[in-house]
Amino acid sequence: MTVLACVTALVAALALAVTPAPARAAGTLLSQGKPVTASSTENGGTPATAAVDGDPGTRWSSAAGDPQWLQVDLGTGSTISSVTLTWETAYATVYQLQTSTDGTTWKSLYTTTTGKGGTENLTVSGSGRYVRLTTTQRATQYGVSLWEFQVYGTAGTGSACSTANAALRRPATASSTENAGTPAGAAVDGDSGTRWSSAAADPQWLQVDLGSVQSVCGVQLSWETAYAKAYQIQVSTDGVSWTGVYSTSSGAGGTELVSLTGTGRYVRVYGTARATQYGYSLWEFQVFTGGTTTPPGDGATLLSYKKPATASTYQNANSCLDCTPAKAFDEDPATRWATSDVNGWVDPGWIAVDLGASAHITKVVLQWDPAYASAYQIQTSPDGVNWTSIYSTSSGKGFKETLNVDGTGRWVRMYGTARSNGYGYSLWTFDVYGTGGSPTAPPAPPADPGNPTHLVWSDEFNGPAGSKPDTAKWTQDPGNGQNGELEYYTNGDNTSMDGNGNLVIEARKEANGQYTSGRINTSDHFNFTYGHVEARIKVSGTQGLWPAFWLLGSNFKTGTPWPNCGEIDIMEHVGKVADSVYSTLHAPAYNGGNGYGSPYTVAGSDFASAFHTYALDWNSTRMTFSVDGKSFFTADRSTVEQTRGPWVYDHPFYIILNNAVGGDWPGAPDATTVLPQRMLVDYVRVSQ
């Protein structure tokens, strides 16, 4: 899921002092890739979006009439310092630049009656969320046309659109349901394997009650095959009177992420034209609202980060080297504390943290390893000697436990009295929230991707036949494979362009009987956190082949072992299962055969017979995997933490492409195997 950008507008007066300038004023380009609308378009090939796409070869053009306008939503109230208009031959001689805080009431920022066309760099002074060009006199008999409409300045600091799904498990109703197995609630249950479907008629609707009036900034629709070609998104404060905030007659199905602006307690998708003879069907209907996600401490401060820690014992051997008490407080979800495997698998067992000063404790978050406490207390102390219980349970469930507490002390302790199994106690994370103490601020989390996203990195593989992958983008990764693989990855002998716009990664059996293949990665060139990642690939397909498109945590290159670094498999295919591809997450608590993921199966098909687009939408709260635009698996952070273990994906990763031979999963080549086999990659693209 790529992530939405929607913020509260700054309400500010506009200081209007404008003079044309030979070069634009300093400032950040704010308009590129932002939502844009226009009074009209000449045709489908000259849309409004073409004026803010950063491509000087595409343009917006209007109908042949006056007046016309083009406006861009910067997403937040911003200070505007300059505007650049790059006109096509059909320019305006008379026009205004205007700004608005709400998209309704406009103030003039600049006016001219002597527009010259070409490239006009205008130094301005004003503020607003929306910027509009309004033309009132054309220079030609045609409409008006812009190659680029660029707004520069400083973005405001309003609240971003939350990445949390406000519709999750909220009350939902619908105009109809196909049957009892496809109720309205199935579209808001967070389960990508359940769905709502309607009767086979138009119109139909699905609505969700958010529980209170909120600023709505976007929705994500994960359609089943029966999708809407024409639909609206509507909001309402009372569930009776509805206001349309988005409309389309060209819905594409699959996963649609829609940026919008509206206010309401109820949000509705209202379908007016079906794409099939069936009804409408949604795997998931997600709603995003204004404001940042509330942190685990409900606004309280994290007090425990990197504070001195002690424990009854700790382990430093076998599967848990250096599992000291400090590891529970380092905000690294892939490191943990564990009691000693020599003398610590006993009751009681405890871990404590010194907050540095007395504090009011309001919340404790525990992320347990499978060695968890079924009975334990949370205790506080003023001196580290005398303890007071502020929470007690005899029914601990393990995984992630968020505890609302109320206590005072400088020290906080988890005091386990009953282990859940034959091992000791182990915590990935022990977070203490409240006020007071002597907190150390943890590192700022990475920013979620914007909406709409824009391309930040790509390779189209358009080199001549026989040329090698671009060494400014890819590093060859030679050596033996892992996981029981049989090939040797060569230093470029098995990776080259085919001259038709594809990278070829060829798996071969050499004359000496050795299997060889290719593996390349971006680790030395491009590492990134969050975004939309996709590749168009034609996989190899014979017994014993294992082509893959995946991401590995960049800290692997600096010494963090697998699986602590995290692994995101966007696409894996094994030749013995022709009709399926697989997407899987691997982390310390769930990896290998216990990885968290799902297959995508088209019964009776062969994925090796054609190109398919494999994609990941990744942000701080979820990952959604899709094939050819069809979303089939969503890993929700809260679900992962409460059912699998820590979420270890909030840091940079790099891209890997390889075509493995053999291995624990696909098995070895046999008498049916056909070699050589080519994995073809048309492109790889990353947007944020």
Question: Using 50, 70 and 90 to split pLDDT, how confident is the model at 190?
Answer: confident
The pLDDT of residue 632 is 87
Indicate whether 293 pLDDT > 60. no
Tally Cβ neighbours within 10 Å of residue 125. Answer: 18
Per the CB < 8 A criterion, the answer to whether 518 and 489 are in contact is yes
Q: Is 5 exposed, middle or buried (0-12, 13-18, 19+ CB in 10 A)?
A: buried
Range with the poorest average pLDDT among 199-213, 278-292, 665-679: 278-292
Span between the terminal Cα atoms of the chain, in Å: 11
Q: What is the mean pLDDT of the segment spanning 403-427?
A: 96
Tally Cβ neighbours within 10 Å of residue 225. Answer: 11
Indicate whether 352 pLDDT > 90. yes
The pLDDT of residue 215 is 85
**593: which residues sit within 8 A by CB, 6+ positions away?**
none
- For a pLDDT cut of 70, what percent of the chain falls above it? 93
Task: Write out the catalytic residue numbers.
Answer: 567, 572
Indicate whether 295 pLDDT > 70. no
d(CA 597, CA 479): 28
Q: What is the mean pLDDT of the segment spanning 89-99?
A: 94
The pLDDT of residue 527 is 97
d(CA 614, CA 628): 6
**Sign of the torsion formed by the C-alpha atoms of 553, 608, 661 and 515:** negative
| Rounded CA Rg of the chain | 28
Tally Cβ neighbours within 10 Å of residue 483. Answer: 12
The pLDDT of residue 647 is 97
The pLDDT of residue 177 is 95
Q: Classify strands 388-393 and 373-381 as parallel, antiparallel or unpaired.
A: antiparallel
Q: If we measure between CA atoms, which residue out of 654, 642, 645, 648 comes closest to residue 686?
A: 654
Q: If we measure between CA atoms, which residue out of 437, 131, 449, 487 comes closest to residue 288?
A: 449
Question: Using 50, 70 and 90 to split pLDDT, how confident is the model at 132?
Answer: very high
Report CA-CA distances (Å) from 260 to 79, 212, 291, 355: 22, 18, 14, 43
Per the CB < 8 A criterion, the answer to whether 174 and 257 are in contact is no
d(CA 276, CA 227): 7
The pLDDT of residue 54 is 84
d(CA 429, CA 545): 39
pLDDT (tens digit, 9 = 90+) per residue, 202-255? 999 999 999 888 888 889 898 999 999 999 999 998 888 898 989 999 888 887
The pLDDT of residue 452 is 66
Provide the mean pLDDT of the chain: 90
Question: Using 50, 70 and 90 to split pLDDT, how confident is the model at 165?
Answer: confident
pLDDT (tens digit, 9 = 90+) per residue, 589-628? 999 999 999 999 999 999 999 999 999 999 998 999 999 9
Q: What is the mean pLDDT of the segment spanning 313-328?
A: 95
Q: What is the mean pLDDT of the segment spanning 131-150?
A: 94
pLDDT (tens digit, 9 = 90+) per residue, 455-493? 999 999 999 999 999 999 999 999 999 999 999 999 999
pLDDT (tens digit, 9 = 90+) per residue, 646-658? 999 999 999 999 9
Longest Cα–Cα distance in the chain: 89
Q: What is the mean pLDDT of the segment spanning 546-560?
A: 97
Q: Is 190 exposed, middle or buried (0-12, 13-18, 19+ CB in 10 A)?
A: middle
Question: Using 50, 70 and 90 to split pLDDT, how confident is the model at 2?
Answer: very low
Q: If we measure between CA atoms, which residue out of 358, 229, 366, 355 comes closest to residue 642?
A: 366
Task: Specify the higher pLDDT residue, 33 or 473.
Answer: 473
Question: Using 50, 70 and 90 to split pLDDT, how confident is the model at 29?
Answer: confident
The pLDDT of residue 134 is 94
Question: Using 50, 70 and 90 to split pLDDT, how confident is the model at 9?
Answer: very low
Tally Cβ neighbours within 10 Å of residue 512. Answer: 5
Indicate whether 399 pLDDT > 60. yes
The pLDDT of residue 15 is 31
Estimate to the nearest angstrom the gap between the alpha carbon of 185 and the chain centroid: 24
The pLDDT of residue 212 is 82
Q: For residue 590, what is the DSSP state?
A: B
Q: If we measure between CA atoms, which residue out of 234, 214, 287 comes closest to residue 257?
A: 287
d(CA 196, CA 172): 10
Range with the poorest average pLDDT among 119-128, 169-178, 417-426: 119-128
pLDDT (tens digit, 9 = 90+) per residue, 428-440? 999 999 999 999 9
Task: Specify the higher pLDDT residue, 296 or 400.
Answer: 400
Q: For residue 305, what is the DSSP state?
A: T
Report CA-CA distances (Å) from 627 to 254, 400, 458, 538, 630: 9, 31, 19, 12, 5
- For a pLDDT cut of 90, what percent of the chain falls above it? 72
Estimate to the nearest angstrom the gap between the alpha carbon of 439 and the chain centroid: 30
Q: If we measure between CA atoms, which residue out of 398, 290, 307, 391 comes closest to residue 355?
A: 307
The pLDDT of residue 260 is 81
